[in-house]
Structure 1
Amino acid sequence: MNSFTTPWGEFDLARFPEDPRDPLRAWDAADEYLLRHLHGSDGEPADLSGTVAVVGDRWGALTTALAAHRPVQITDSFLAQEATRANLARNGVAPDAVRLLSTQDTPPDRIDVLLIRVPKSLALLEDQLHRLAPRLHEGTLVVGTGRVTEIHTSTLKLFERLVGPTRTSLAVKKARLIFCTPDPGVQRPANPWPHRYALPEGIGAVSGRTVTNHAGTFCAERLDIGTRFFLPRLPRHGGPERIVDLGCGNGVVGTAAALANPEAEVLFIDESYQAVASAEATFRENAGSRAAEFQVGDGLAAVPPQSVDLVLNNPPFHTHQATTDTTAWRMFTGSRKALRPGGELWVIGNRHLGYHVKLRKVFGNCEVVASDPKFVILRAVKR
C-alpha cells in the first residue's frame, strides 16, 4: 500500500489482492497527469458536475480520488472492481459513493464527463467507444490518459472516428492526455464486436467449430499458437468429473474438454467480464443447453477446497505493462487447494517461463506431457 497524493487529497491505495511484497503501485504517471489536468493545473478546472464515467481505471486510483463527484466506474476487470472497493474502504469512502459497472453492463443513459484510461487492447477501446458514444452530448468533457507507449496513432484515429475531433497533450513523465470533442454528426460504422471465427481442423474435439470473442479477450482475432498446441493434447478422461478452465478466455479449452467427455461438468473462470461472456457464448453455441458454470472472479478463490478433478490453465505472465509471475503462482497454489487428492493441473506455457520449477515447489511433482521448440505442456498431480 502506498500514499497517492492528488489535488483532492492523499489516498492510501493498493492493488488487489494486496501483497506487501509487491513493489508495483496502484497508480502511475498517467493517473496523476489526468487528475492534475482536471483540477486546473494547466488552465481552468474541469466542470465535474453531472454524470462522471471513469472507464478502465486499473486499480481504482482515479475512482477513489474522484469519489466526491460520485463517479460511475466501468471496467472489464473483476480485480479492478475489488481493488476499488478495498481502496474506497481503506480511505473511509462510503461504497455507495461510486457505482461499479462492468463492460458487459448497460452504460449510463447520459454521460457528462468521460474519463478513459486507455487499455492495452485497441479492440476493447473500440468496443467501449461504440457503446459509450451514443451516451455523449456536445458538452461532454472527454479526456483519455495513458503512458506514451500506450497511445498510438491508431488510438487517436479511433477516438476521431467514433467520437469526434481529437488531439493530444505534450508528454509529461512519459504520460500523455487525449482530448476529444464529441461530434453528434459522426457517422459511426457498426460495432464489429463480438467477433466469431471458425477453428481449424486437427485440434481435437473443437475442430472446425466456431468460437465467439468479445473485444479484449485473449486470441479474439484468431486462435493463438499455444492453444492450438494444447487442444489436441488435452487429457482424455471419461466418466463424471469436475473440470475448471482457469483463465478461460473465449472458453475454447473448456468447451473442448466438455465435448470430449459428455459426463464432465465444466466451470469457466476468468477475471475478465469480456472473457467470461465469450466463454459462455462459445460453450452455448457448441454444447447447447448442457450444464456448465461461468464465473467472473479471482482465480479459484471462490471454489471450495478439494472439489475439482482437473484444472486446465494457460496462465498470463503480465499485468497491464508489467511482466510478472504473480498471477501464475496464485493460479498454481489455488489449483492445488481446489483439487481433490489425485486431481491434476495441466498447464500450457512458453518454455522460457520455467513453470516446471514453480509446479514442483507447489505440488512436489511435475511431468512434461508434450513440448515443441516454443511451448511445453506440464502435468502436476495433487498427492
Structure 2
Amino acid sequence: MTTPWGTYTLARFPEDPRDRLRAWDASDAYLLRHLASSGTPLDGTVVVVGDRWGALVTALAERRPVQITDSFLGQEATRANLRRNGVEEGAVRLLTTRDTPPDRIDVLLVRVPKSLALLEDQLHRLAPAVHEGTVVIGTGMVKEIHTSTLRLFERLLGPTRTSLAEQKARLIFCTPDPALERGAAPWPYRYRLPDGIGPLSGRTVVNHAGVFCADRLDIGTRFFLGHLPRGRDGARIVDLGCGNGVVGTAAALVSPGAEVLFLDESFQAVASAEETYRANADGSAEFRVGDGLSGVPDASVDLVLNNPPFHSHQATSDASARRMFTGARRALRPGGELWVVGNRHLGYHVTLRRLFGNSELVAGDNKFVILRAVKRAVQR
C-alpha cells in the first residue's frame, strides 16, 4: 500500500499464499491521502476504530494511535504488519471493543463496519470522550455507507456530511456536538427464544452489537438445535465459531456433565456467548477468543459443533470453514466427532471426506444439511 508517508507491505491473518485478497482497500488509501493533503492535525490521542487488518494504524504509527477492533484476527494481523514494516508494537495501543476506550479523543478515524449495530454501539461508547475540537472522519466503500450510516453519526456525534467518491470509496466528515442528547445505548440486546426448539425453548439469548442474528434465531442454528448429539456427559465439547453461544449452551443442557469450550474470533461474540450461557446453564464452561482451534491441544476434545461462516470481512470464501474443519481434525481425540450445519449448496461433505475420510448425513431439508465426520484412530 502506497501512502503519502511511504509504502507498506501488508497481509491478512492468518497468511495464506492462496489468498489473493489485499489487507487494505481504496477506502483506507482515500482516508490516508486526505489526512496528508488536508493537513489534518494528528495531535493528541488518535483513535482508529474498525481497522480491519491494521493498514491504517501501521501507516499512522508515528502518531502513536489507539486501535479498537472486534476482530482477534484483525488484531493479530496488525501485530504482524507492524513487525513486517519495522514498527515496534508499542507504537500502537491495541484495544478490543470490550475494553474501556480512552477518556479523551482528539482524532477519531472510523472504518465503517459491515454491521450498523456495531457502529452504533461503538459510537455510543466513544461519544463521551469526543469533544468540540475532535476531528472525526469515517471511511468506507460506497456500498458500505448508507443514509442510515450517516444518521448514526448525526444522532450520536453531530452534523455529518460526505465527500465525493473516489475509486468507489467515500469519506464521512462529522462535526462533534457535545450537547447532543443521545439516550441510552440499546446493546446488549436480550430476547426470548421461541418454543419447539429443544432444550433452549423459551430461554433468553444475549447479543452484543455486531454478533450474527442479533434479534432472532437464524434458521440454520434452529435446524441444528433440533438434531444435536445427546448423552455426552464427561465429554469435552467445543462450540467452534460460537457467536452468541446458543449451540454450546444447548449442548451443555442436554449433556450436563460435559465441559464446553466456546470459541470465536469476535470479542463481541464471546462476550455474548458467556452471558447467554450464564443465563441458562451452570456447568463447566470456558470462553476464549482466538484463531479457531489453534490454541487447543492436539487430541484433547471429544466433540466439535460448528456452524461455519462463508464470508470473512465481507469476502465470500470457504477458507474459514476449511480452517475450522482442519483444526477440528487435529484437536479431536480418535473417535471424536465433528458436527457441521451448513447450506446444502456449499458442499461441505466433499471437504469433510477429504480431511476425515468420511462424512455422514445426520439430517437435511431443502436448505440445510447437518453432517457428522469421525476422526479415525489412524488419522494424524
TM over 0.5: yes
2:258–2:284 contact (8 Å) kept in structure 1:
no
SS in 1 for 2:199: helix
SS in 1 for 2:132: coil
SS in 1 for 2:152: helix
Deviations 1:115-147 (A, max 9, x none): 000000000000000000110000000000001
State yes or no: 1:226 paired with 2:220: yes
- Verify: 1:264 aligned to 2:261, yes or no: no
Distance 1:359 1:294 in 2: 26
How many angstroms apart in 2 are the aligned matches of 1:77 and 1:320? Answer: 10
The match for 2:140 among 141, 146, 150 is 146
Query: What SS does structure 2 have at the residue aligned with 1:138?
Result: strand
Please show how residues 116-135 of structure 1 align to structure 2 within 5 Å.
Answer: 116-135=110-129
The amino acid across from 2:2 in the alignment is T
C-alpha separation in 2, matches of 1:21 and 1:227: 30
Q: How many Å apart are 1:320 and its aligned residue?
A: 2.0
In 1, are the aligned partners of 2:339 and 2:370 still within 8 Å (CA)? yes
Q: Deviations over 1:232-289 (max 9, x none)?
A: 110113320000000000001000000111110000000000000000000111113x
- Indicate the SS of the match to 1:329: helix
Q: What is the CA–CA distance in structure 2 between the aligned matches of 1:238 and 1:22, rounded to whole Å?
A: 38
Deviations 1:8-35 (Å, cap 9, x if unpaired)?
A: 1111110000112110000000000000
Equivalent residue, structure 1, for 2:13: 16
Deviations 1:293-335 (A, max 9, x none): 0000000000000000000000000112211111000000000
Aligned length: 376
Matched, 1:252 2:225: no
Counterpart for residue 372 of structure 2: 379
Deviation at residue 78 of structure 1 after TM alignment: 0.2
The answer on 1:197 being equivalent to 2:191 is yes
Partner of residue 30 from structure 1, selected from 27, 30, 50: 27
Tell me which of 35, 41, 51 is aligned to 1:57. 51
2:324 is the counterpart of 1:324: no
Quick one: which of 264, 275, 281 aligns to 1:287? 281
Matched, 1:308 2:301: yes
| Secondary structure of 2:75's aligned partner | helix
Q: 1:338 aligns with which of 324, 331, 343?
A: 331
> Separation in 1 of the partners of 2:193 and 2:362?
23
Using the size of structure 2 for normalisation, the TM-score is 0.98
Give the partner amino acid of 1:367.
E
Gaps of 5+ in 2: none
Measured in 2, the distance between the counterparts of 1:358 and 1:182 equals: 51
Per-residue CA shift, 1:56-97, capped at 9, x if unaligned? Answer: 000000010000000000000000000000000011101110
Instruction: Measure the CA separation in 1 of the matches of 2:208 and 2:161.
Output: 28
Q: 2:263–2:288: 8 Å Cα contact kept in structure 1?
A: yes
Q: C-alpha distance in 1, partners of 2:348/2:139?
A: 35
Distance 1:360 1:170 in 2: 50
2:108 matches 1:114? yes
SS in 2 for 1:116: strand
Point out the more displaced range, 315-324 or 109-118: 315-324
Q: 1:351 aligns with which of 344, 351, 358?
A: 344
Match 1:67 to one of 61, 67, 74 = 61
2: distance between equivalents of 1:331 and 1:285? Answer: 28
Checking the alignment, whether the CA contact within 8 Å between 2:131 and 2:178 is kept in structure 1 is yes
Q: Distance in 1 between matches of 2:233 and 2:93?
A: 44
Q: Give, in angstroms, the shift of residue 178 of structure 1.
A: 0.4
Runs of 4 or more, structure 1, over 6 Å off, are none
Instruction: Give the distance between the partners of 1:179 and 1:378, measured in 2 at CA.
Output: 48
Match of 2:361?
A: 368
Secondary structure in 2 matching 1:348: strand
Where do 5+ consecutive residues of structure 1 fail to align? none
Provide TM-score, normalisation by structure 1. 0.97
Measured in 2, the distance between the counterparts of 1:314 and 1:63 equals 32
Equivalent of 1:81 in 75, 84, 96: 75
Q: Name the aligned partner's letter for residue 34 of structure 1.
A: L
Structure-2 residue corresponding to 1:242: 236
1:202 to partner: Cα distance: 1.2
